[in-house]
Homo-oligomer: A and B are copies of this chain.
Amino acid sequence: MNAQSVTTHLRTLGHRISRAREAIIEIFSSTTKPLTAIDVLLTLEKVGLPVNKTTVYRELEFLLAQHLLQEVQIESGIIHYESAAQDHHHHLICQTCKQIVAVDPKEIEQGIDKLARRVRINEGFTISDHSLEFYGHCAHCQ
């Protein structure tokens, strides 16, 4: 899902495409990195489209409600967002330089699903989502 098709989609739903909205959609469709509200704010400043932080927060909330973004549970304290138009995946987080890399752990999803079924039987818990993040050090920060 590229930026163009996202804005078209929103327009058909009757939503406006303001400059800020368009720019934020563009930011998320051109990276796979999970971004924070502050990341978005700073990127907009760099691109010469400064907006108020409230606008950024409200826009992230809006795009989340439209299922165009999804929250990523990384470190505690700061919400990260990434495009929802990505296959399910998990993350490697470098504890030194804080960079985040996506990892697509197909081989583990089966095990996770099996566990989810067992948990449902044993604990009566139905699982609708999971987060799996890896912490360590990237090649540079060894």
Contacts and interface: CB of A to CB of B under 8 A. Distances in A.
A128 B135 contact: yes
Contacts of A73: 73-76, 133
Most buried by B among A94, A108, A125, A129: A125
Contact of A94 (B76, B101, B125): B125
Interface residues of A, number: 42
Contact of A115 (B75, B77, B107, B126): B107
A124 interface: yes
Interface of A: 71, 73-79, 92, 94-95, 101, 103, 105, 107-108, 110-112, 114-116, 118-119, 123-139, 142
A92 B136 contact: no
Can you list the 6 inter-chain pairs with the closest CB atoms, starting with the nearest?
A124-B139, A127-B136, A111-B111, A129-B135, A132-B132, A127-B134
